[in-house]
Structure 1
């Protein structure tokens, strides 16, 4: 398959990417849309005419964000709905509340480098939030996505990953750090690898439903996501190579690649790939340089199928 490139790049903004796109009549969900690139992703989709639901833990912050997006775009169809991805009952409640087709799902919410914590179900927090919660959500919304997928334009799912996936493959025999010392870097890397593997397998399973699924690396953006970056973590990250040398982007630039994958006609029919800086990433054999590219293990079809089956079993079906 030929590598996908676009006229946009590392310094492009979400507004530039979506400038000529009309999303009137489309409905979108953006998880974790009260800060950082989530806000700018939702803003860009709303500016193109989409109805956008902000799926967030803090609905008061969501209401403030929705009001700001409406004020800047003139689009009053910016809605807020509660969603805590680490709480299975919250995920199920959100899915039950959704009615009708869903054209765009941006799996943006996440946590990073958190201290060790388990969810009530016993799952390691970073894996549960960044991957497993989104996996359960998208399975529950599959019918809504397929309903949109049966019409022109189809449906798209954007799985936010990170260059942090280069920190660790998915360790299938110990997803929850029950038999190895907890390492917040490895836990984050594992969850971000899982986000890419999801796109690979979902694309294989759902292409016939008109659902297009890709993973993205938004870029290095200073947001609340980095609140757990202690000096010791930064030192450990520095010991791994050049991960800290990624150039910083603004939130508007960070939202460009997710918005491109979510809405651009340039990517019609493209699925199962990993994008960074508004282009498909190159496969790399080792982490280095600017910590760019995608690891082969994150695109491996066998890994992707195993992760899907294992996590479907974890969820009870």
Structure 2
């Protein structure tokens, strides 16, 4: 019989990938699950029986999403909790309220190409939300994942990582002029490097991670784009549905083989090819996102930055 992992591709949906998986008795957190692919990621996990927490900024909106997921899956264990990844005090409050083991952490929330914004610490917002907030969340939830006796972290990245490595000398654009594309790209590279280092650092604790590229999908993520550019892009490029966009997150969360030495970046439910330039604006992972030295350095920098807010 063919390997069932080979049955999934760019057209697969999250519910197709989760079919046959039993997650009853397990727990999951999905950040940014109030819209876009986060909703369908949470829905698929709930359909498999997991107790799912939608970790969001807009709890009223997410409450409606949770009600819809409960109705569509028959799983009543879907709840909403407040977390603002730009505010590490909010991250700490979310973790303080968590109890019990955690099997799956899906770091899905993010911002893209926004105007220049900064946290109270002066951190550039893409790096703060897309990377540092999720880094702090995972660090603080490490005991809960350890107690699960086997946990996975899904780090939602993007082909946008191709536009920038980690700007270690000026990560917050304090010296150079702010560039939203570079800021987004840096944060998406950070997502991959985090997954790479987390797996190597925590594999002895039974925790593994990998990053995913959901694919080209039109969601609220592009709200900061020029409307004319967005309209033109929608005409010229084929895209996935949100259900298809959530598929690779579900694949990594439930089916992929993860651990030291295994692929750290997936697309279309398969490990991505290492390339010298992103193909077609979508496919492949660049070497700078898989650099073990950069991953170690980023981890050390992130630890220092997060510690400054304690």
TM interval, shorter chain, is over 0.9
Specify the SS of the correspondent of 1:222: coil
Q: Is the 8 A contact 1:245 1:290 kept in 2?
A: no
Listed as ranges, the matches of 1:198-213 within 5 Å are 198-213=194-209
Are residues 284 and 246 of structure 1, via their aligned partners in 2, closer, same or farther at CA, if it must alter by over 3 Å? farther
Structure 2 CA distance for aligned equivalents of residues 168 and 247 of structure 1: 24
| Residue 15 (structure 1) aligns with | 15
User: Post-superposition shift, 1:8?
Assistant: 0.5
Listed as ranges, the matches of 1:107-122 within 5 Å are 107-122=107-122
Structure 2 CA distance for aligned equivalents of residues 252 and 134 of structure 1: 23
| Residue 95 (structure 1) aligns with | 95
| Residue 39 (structure 1) aligns with | 39
| Residue 271 (structure 2) aligns with | 280
**Is 1:263 matched up with 2:263?**
no
Listed as ranges, the matches of 1:173-192 within 5 Å are 173-192=169-188
Consecutive unaligned residues of structure 2, counting only runs of 5 or more, are none
Q: Is the 8 A contact 2:159 2:281 kept in 1?
A: no
Structure 2 CA distance for aligned equivalents of residues 26 and 96 of structure 1: 19
| Residue 59 (structure 2) aligns with | 59
Which of these residues, 284, 289, 294, is aligned with residue 298 of structure 1? 289
Q: Is the 8 A contact 2:159 2:278 kept in 1?
A: no
Specify the SS of the correspondent of 2:15: helix
Structure 2 CA distance for aligned equivalents of residues 120 and 245 of structure 1: 40
Specify the SS of the correspondent of 1:116: coil
Q: Is the 8 A contact 1:202 1:272 kept in 2?
A: no
**Is 1:171 matched up with 2:167?**
yes
How large is the Cα RMSD of the aligned pairs? 2.0
Q: Is the 8 A contact 2:154 2:252 kept in 1?
A: yes
| Residue 289 (structure 1) aligns with | 280
| Residue 215 (structure 2) aligns with | 219
User: Post-superposition shift, 1:316?
Assistant: 1.6
Deviations 1:193-234 (A, max 9, x none): 000000110011000000010000011111111000115876
Are residues 33 and 162 of structure 1, via their aligned partners in 2, closer, same or farther at CA, if it must alter by over 3 Å? same
Which of these residues, 134, 148, 155, is aligned with residue 159 of structure 1? 155
Structure 2 CA distance for aligned equivalents of residues 13 and 44 of structure 1: 9
Structure 1 CA distance for aligned equivalents of residues 61 and 109 of structure 2: 14
Q: Is the 8 A contact 1:246 1:290 kept in 2?
A: no
User: Post-superposition shift, 1:313?
Assistant: 0.7
TM-score of the aligned structures, taking structure 1 as reference length:
0.91
| Residue 300 (structure 2) aligns with | 309
Deviations 1:281-314 (A, max 9, x none): 0001123434310010000000000000011011
Structure 2 CA distance for aligned equivalents of residues 19 and 280 of structure 1: 20
Q: How many residues align?
A: 303
TM-score of the aligned structures, taking structure 2 as reference length:
0.93
Greater mean deviation of Cα atoms: 160-169 or 288-297: 288-297
Structure 1 CA distance for aligned equivalents of residues 77 and 247 of structure 2: 22
Listed as ranges, the matches of 1:63-142 within 5 Å are 63-142=63-142
Structure 1 CA distance for aligned equivalents of residues 289 and 198 of structure 2: 14
Structure 2 CA distance for aligned equivalents of residues 165 and 246 of structure 1: 19
Are residues 315 and 269 of structure 1, via their aligned partners in 2, closer, same or farther at CA, if it must alter by over 3 Å? closer
Specify the SS of the correspondent of 2:208: strand
Are residues 292 and 163 of structure 1, via their aligned partners in 2, closer, same or farther at CA, if it must alter by over 3 Å? same
Are residues 252 and 136 of structure 1, via their aligned partners in 2, closer, same or farther at CA, if it must alter by over 3 Å? same
